[in-house]
């Protein structure tokens, strides 16, 4: 029976159980209605419990002591029983600190922009002050510094998003245009679903270090484990946990030319990894009919719209193996959605091994020109490239090995 848990109103999205279990102990998720909070706290059922929305302030009146950080921030996300006493802590700051450390960015003397004005923005401000930031500006929708005049802070060196904008299911939402910040040195995100928000992807595309919401979550759990058991897991162990969760839960996305073998390889890979396989073209057929008929009666523009809708929907999920159509990478929206929860694998095959049967755009000797158009996109998008020039089992095993290394 677990001694520790997370309490909140809705926890179906939470990764906390996964993370804490990986730290070596049983951990429960306990959903509570507001009227159940008091009875839970007085029950004494758990030695300690983490706290999430909407109870981070509501638990404070029940506590006998709170840490200096929790007192300064006005919110508690960890309650520990010490005999008859209840002690409250704020571990968000330690998780955010760990995430910052992973970027190797120093805030000392730097200007930091904090997006949002809620409780988490207070944590971000505490972090920035603790790390010697030269200036801290909070951006809100209606304050003096807001999203309409944010360009006047183009000299910002670091941006921390503490808003829920970009969270599942509104994955494609974003607040700001990073091109406005030429002096930017890094970005921190508190959202972990999706693994990479639009903000994180924009920073990644500029080659900037990104501290993700998953980094923060795992870091917070590690510091919580220190309070539970008296020992902080080594930094390398915490880093390994982040990589392990990504390896287990990120989608594997297969891109490449028509007839390069994505569907066959994808089915075999899904079987090997114990995951669900999704073929984008098959999903389009289920919803809209045969692809040659769509091209003939509605045209490529409509087909691409259907394709983008399917991709936007399925890439919100995790632990999938996804095979895309050859031209899916042409739209930036698709490329971003494929990357948000996935590692992209380019299945490369010799041009003379590709066929145009049942493929409207490839027919009439157009495969070579399509390849020339798409090859640079495949190359830049892929984190793993695999040659489909051997038996399927060898190709599948190579993908599984390479993806695990990331």
Instruction: Find the CATH number of the domain harbouring 37.
Output: 3.40.50.10860
The low-confidence residues of the chain, meaning pLDDT below 70, are 355-365
Q: Which of 41, 70, 89 delimits the end of a domain?
A: 89
Residue written as token pair 């290394």: 405
Does 222 fall in a domain?
Answer: no
Residue 27 CA to residue 1 CA, distance in Å, equals 9
Strand-pair partners of 132: none
Structure tokens at 96: 């955010």
Q: Are 188 and 103 in contact (CB under 8 A)?
A: yes
Does 239 fall in a domain?
Answer: no
Q: Residue 218's closest CA among 364, 114, 360, 95?
A: 95
Q: Residue 218's closest CA among 12, 19, 11, 3?
A: 19
* Residue 307 CB contacts under 8 Å (≥ 6 apart), including other chains: 280, 284, 325, 327, 328, 334
Does 243 fall in a domain?
Answer: no
112 in the same domain as 59: no
pLDDT for 357 equals: 59
Count of alpha carbons within 13 Å of 371, Cβ hemisphere only? 19
99 in the same domain as 16: no
Q: Residue 327's closest CA among 366, 295, 288, 370?
A: 370
Residue 393 CA to residue 47 CA, distance in Å, equals 48
Which domain does 360 fall in, by range? 250-405
Q: Are 321 and 275 in contact (CB under 8 A)?
A: yes
CATH number for the domain that contains residue 304 = 3.40.50.300
pLDDT for 363 equals: 47
Report the percent of the chain where pLDDT is more than 90.
89
Model confidence pLDDT, tens digit, residues 220-266: 999 999 999 888 889 999 999 999 999 999 999 999 998 899 999 99
400 in the same domain as 280: yes
298 in the same domain as 187: no
121 in the same domain as 25: no
73 in the same domain as 52: yes
Q: Which of 67, 89, 111 delimits the end of a domain?
A: 89
164 in the same domain as 255: no
Residue 241 CA to residue 265 CA, distance in Å, equals 28
Q: How many separate domains does the chain show?
A: 3
Model confidence pLDDT, tens digit, residues 305-345: 999 999 999 999 999 999 999 999 999 999 999 999 999 99
129 in the same domain as 12: no
Residue 67 CA to residue 43 CA, distance in Å, equals 23
pTM for this prediction: 0.92
Does 325 fall in a domain?
Answer: yes
3-state percent helix, strand, coil for the chain, nearest multiple of 5: 45, 20, 35
């Amino acid at each position: 029976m677990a001694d520790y848990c997370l309490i909140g109103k809705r926890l179906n999205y939470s990764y906390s159980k996964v993370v804490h279990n990986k730290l070596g102990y049983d951990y429960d998720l306990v959903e509570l209605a507001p009227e159940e909070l008091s009875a839970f706290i007085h029950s004494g059922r758990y030695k300690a419990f983490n706290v999430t929305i909407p109870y981070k302030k509501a638990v404070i009146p029940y506590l006998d002591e709170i840490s200096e950080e929790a007192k300064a921030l006005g919110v508690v996300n960890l309650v520990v029983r010490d005999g008859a006493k209840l002690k409250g802590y704020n571990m968000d700051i330690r998780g955010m600190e760990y995430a910052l450390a992973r970027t190797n960015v120093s805030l000392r003397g730097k200007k930091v922009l904090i997006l949002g004005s809620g409780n988490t923005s207070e944590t971000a401000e505490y972090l920035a002050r603790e790390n010697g930031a030269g200036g801290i500006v909070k951006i809100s929708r209606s304050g003096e510094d807001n999203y309409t005049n944010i360009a006047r802070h183009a000299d910002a060196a670091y941006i921390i998003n503490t808003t829920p904008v970009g969270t599942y299911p509104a994955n494609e939402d974003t607040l700001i245009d990073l091109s406005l910040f030429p002096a930017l040195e890094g970005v921190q995100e508190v959202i972990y679903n999706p693994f990479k928000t639009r903000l994180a992807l924009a920073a990644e595309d500029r080659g900037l270090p990104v501290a993700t919401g998953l980094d923060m979550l795992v870091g917070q759990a590690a510091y919580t484990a220190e309070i539970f058991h008296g020992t902080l897991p080594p930094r390398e162990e915490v880093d390994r946990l982040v990589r392990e969760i990504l390896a287990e839960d990120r989608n594997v996305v297969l891109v490449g030319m028509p007839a390069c073998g994505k569907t066959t390889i994808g089915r075999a890979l899904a079987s090997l990894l114990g995951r669900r396989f999704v073929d984008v073209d098959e999903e389009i057929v289920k919803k809209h009919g045969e692809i040659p008929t769509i091209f003939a009666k509605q045209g490529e523009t409509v087909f691409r719209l259907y394709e983008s809708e399917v991709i936007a929907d399925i890439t919100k999920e995790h632990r999938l193996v996804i095979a895309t159509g050859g031209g899916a990478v042409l739209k930036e929206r698709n490329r971003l959605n494929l990357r948000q929860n996935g590692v992209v694998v380019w299945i490369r095959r010799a041009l003379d091994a590709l066929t145009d049967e049942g493929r409207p755009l490839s027919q009439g000797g157009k495969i070579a020109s399509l390849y020339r158009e798409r090859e640079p996109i495949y190359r830049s998008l892929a984190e793993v490239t695999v040659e489909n020039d051997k038996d399927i089992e060898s190709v599948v095993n190579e993908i599984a090995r390479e993806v695990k290394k990331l």
